[in-house]
Amino acid sequence: MAAYTIVPGASEISIGGTSTVHAIKGSAVDVNGALEADLDGGELVRSLSGRIEVPVAGLRSGNPLQDGELQRRVDARRYPRIVGEVRKAVPLGEDGLFRVEGDVTFHGVARAVEDTVVVRADGDRLTLEGEHVFDIRDFGVKPPRILMLRVDPMVKVRIRLVAELA
């Protein structure tokens, strides 16, 4: 297995949600971590493992009021990192598609997650992309309700990791 280091700035975690007033979007590019992959000698990834960390303070929506409310609501000082760890990854064919099982820790709560990702190798780089819908209540976070504004607890998280051979 070859070790790859996540490239902050080239990697991104984006979050999308809805409210009764407007869509809520945010992202973080300060993604750190590592992946390990076994390649077939070319560009086909045969196995995969890894761990990533995202500072909660790095999540930005472009709206300072929303950002401040997010930091307060998720208690970013007490729970400063979101951590994702791959426990198992099974290739689903020759196209880079993997069924991934792992754990996501957010707001001090770890939850098992299972979904598909696409992994591509290109020289000394790996790119991993996928998405998953989370219910933030599963992590002990209550969605805000302010007057007529209600935030849906379901959020779509998209991940795009770029990693370079260590």
For residue 21, what is the domain's CATH number? 2.40.128.110
Question: Residue 102: which residues within 8 A CB-CB, separation 6 or more?
Answer: 84, 85, 86, 87, 88, 112, 113, 114
**Nearest partner of 136 among 27, 14, 17, judged by Cα:** 17
> How far apart are alpha carbons 32 and 37 in whole angstroms?
17
Q: How far is it, in rounded angstroms, from Cα 166 to Cα 154?
A: 36
Q: Is the pLDDT of residue 125 over 90?
A: yes
> Which pLDDT band, with edges at 50, 70 and 90, does 32 fall under?
very high
What total of structural domains would you count in the chain? Answer: 1
Q: What are 37-68's pLDDT values in tens digits?
A: 988 776 668 889 999 999 999 999 888 887 88
Q: CA–CA separation, 140 vs 73, rounded Å?
A: 10
C-alpha to C-alpha distance for 116 and 97, rounded to whole angstroms: 7
Taking residues 26-34, report their average pLDDT.
95
pLDDT, position 42: 64
The amino acid sitting at 145 is: R
Q: Give residue 33's domain range.
A: 2-165
